[in-house]
Amino acid sequence: MANTSNKMRPMVVHHQSLCTRTHQIGSLFLVVTTFFFTRLFDQSFAPYNLSTDQFRTSQNLAQVGLGSWPERGYGSHLSLKIYVYDEEEIDGLKALMYGRDGKITANACLKGQWGTQVKIHKLLLQSRFRTRKKEEADLFFVPSYVKCVRMMGGLSDKEINQTYVKVLSQMPYFRLSGGRNHIFVFPSGAGAHLFKSWATYINRSIILTPEGDRTDKRDTSAFNSWKDVIIPGNVDDGMTRKGDTMIQPLSLSKRKYLANYLGRAQGKLGRLKLIELAKQYPDKLECPELKFSGPEKLGRKEYFEHLRNAKFCLAPRGESSWTLRFYESYFVECVPVILSDQAELPFQNVIDYSQISIKWPSSRIGPQLLEYLESISDEDIELMLVRGRQVRCLWVFTSESSPCSALRGIMWELQRKVRLFHQSAETFWLHNGSVVNKDLVEFSKWRLPVPLP
């Protein structure tokens, strides 16, 4: 045995030497080949990779110091499945969309601050992230044009409350998660407080709203930064469409005023201060008395013509902290000046708003504000306007397939909100994984209407 071992030893050493060289070459080839095919496989089968246009958008935003979109804060992959409730599948849902008599149309609700309720719904119906299978959905979207319906007399406050409760009681999946994976849009005015019993029924749900600080008379806020999403206001389509817009921006040298405020006083302190300031400095600050009815009513085109005639567009708070004027200013290319201390802005984990706007204390509205704005050079103003052009696409409600759109930003925010709560506090389960209610009835056999959480 020893002799045999000694004989074989030189052969083994010689064989190892040859194999090492061969393996080195083969290993290198294998690594290169594996890398190539892995990249090819990833590019072929990753469904939501950044497109070339998205990459350019990301580069542009990075160049102006706003971070990369969408890489910063979100990641480059969207992977969502959203179920959109059909207006026919739930009794009462059509009333929340078209009023008790069904006479209010979606087109009638597209304009104004509440238009986002319609736009988000319509875009989700065409979205590649829509699923028609409830059992595979990450999130559930509840369509409602209720702000518009209320404004047009289609439902009273009491009817709105009763109808929402009726609708929710017909949603087993709402019951299953306690509403945590359901999405509601409340675009203006009272925010979610439009549904008087929101705190009882949808306090766990995801709310899309521009009303980040909206509170009721008991100082209870319907907005929670952990679960809810701030969305942009609904800017007139005539200003956001591609190509020729309703009006074009003026060069800075042609603008008549340093600043302007276009809005009603509404008895609000900040707005009243601006109106008085305009009387003291009429050559610097324009604050026309706007007529919203009659022959002197300012049309949409005239409104934007006024808005573009100043370097700075002032945005004080009204009934609540947000104002549509902040978003409109980007499309006439004046620098927005936020005069609302509690204002919340969309996509703040991506956008550095100090690069594209000014926020001034509302308690210091006066000559000091105008002096400060006068001290800013046209070069600095132009730089802020350039940056604003890069991000204003995020205020436009178009398909999420666009490289940059409000819906795409909302989708990234929603993806961050996905939390897989398979059961609510009021559901129960057995050893085999069956989900049951307190009467030990399995989820698949629950009868409508189901009790609400």
Domain harbouring 342, CATH code: 3.40.50.2000
pLDDT score of 13: 38
Q: Which regions of 113-215 does DSSP assign to beta strands (E)?
A: 130-131, 139-141, 182-185, 206-209
* pLDDT tens for each residue of 245-281: 899 999 999 999 999 999 888 888 999 999 999 999 9
Whole-number Å distance between alpha carbons of 443 and 395: 41
353 shares a domain with 259: yes
Total Cβ atoms within 10 A of residue 133: 8
pLDDT score of 29: 53
pLDDT score of 28: 53
Residue 150 lies in a domain: yes
Q: Which of 156, 157, 177, 179 is nearest to 167 (CA)?
A: 179
- Domains identified in the chain, total number: 3
Contact present, 428 and 436 (Cβ < 8 Å): yes
Tokens encoding 131: 């699923």
Whole-number Å distance between alpha carbons of 146 and 114: 9
Residue 313 lies in a domain: yes
Residues of the chain below pLDDT 50: 1-19, 31-32, 34-57, 59, 61-68
243 shares a domain with 229: no
205 shares a domain with 90: yes
Residue 24 lies in a domain: no
Whole-number Å distance between alpha carbons of 137 and 133: 7
pLDDT score of 307: 95
148 shares a domain with 93: yes
269 shares a domain with 206: no
Residue 440 lies in a domain: yes
pLDDT score of 201: 95
Tokens encoding 223: 């907005």
Residue 401 lies in a domain: no
The contacts of residue 94 (CB under 8 Å, 6+ apart) are: 87, 88, 102
227 shares a domain with 171: yes
Total Cβ atoms within 10 A of residue 368: 11
Total Cβ atoms within 10 A of residue 413: 21
* pLDDT tens for each residue of 215-242: 666 667 888 888 999 999 999 999 998 8
Residue 102 lies in a domain: yes
Q: Which regions of 198-239 does DSSP assign to beta strands (E)?
A: 206-209, 229-230
- Displacement of CA 164 from its chain's centroid (Å): 23
pLDDT score of 176: 92
Tokens encoding 154: 């289609």
pLDDT score of 263: 86
Taking the whole predicted model, whether its pTM rises above 0.95 is answered as no
- In the chain, the N- to C-terminal Cα span, in Å, equals 80
* One-character DSSP codes across 34-61: HHHHHHHHHHHH-TTPPPHHHHHHHHHH
Contact present, 353 and 345 (Cβ < 8 Å): yes
245 shares a domain with 391: yes
pLDDT score of 214: 67
Residue 118 lies in a domain: yes
Contact present, 61 and 68 (Cβ < 8 Å): yes
356 shares a domain with 210: no
The contacts of residue 450 (CB under 8 Å, 6+ apart) are: 169, 170, 171, 172, 175, 437
Domain boundary at 42, 74, 106, which?
74
Residues in the chain: 453
- Residue range(s) defining the domain that contains residue 57: 50-74
Residue 403 lies in a domain: no
171 shares a domain with 211: yes
pLDDT score of 349: 81
130 shares a domain with 203: yes
Residue in this structure with the two tokens 């009429």, named with its chain if needed: 282
Give phi and psi for 344, each to the nearest 5: -110, 140
140 shares a domain with 253: no
Q: What separation in angstroms does the CA of 103 have from each of 96, 153, 162, 186?
A: 12, 10, 19, 21
| Angle of helix 52-63 versus helix 378-391 axis, rounded to 10 | 160
Contact present, 104 and 152 (Cβ < 8 Å): yes
338: β partners: 315, 359
pLDDT score of 25: 53
279 shares a domain with 178: no
Judging by beta carbons within 10 Å of its beta carbon (0-12, 13-18, 19+), is residue 181 exposed, middle or buried?
buried
* Amino acid residing at 218: R
pLDDT score of 8: 38
Contact present, 201 and 165 (Cβ < 8 Å): yes
Whole-number Å distance between alpha carbons of 413 and 390: 19
Total Cβ atoms within 10 A of residue 291: 11
pLDDT score of 403: 81
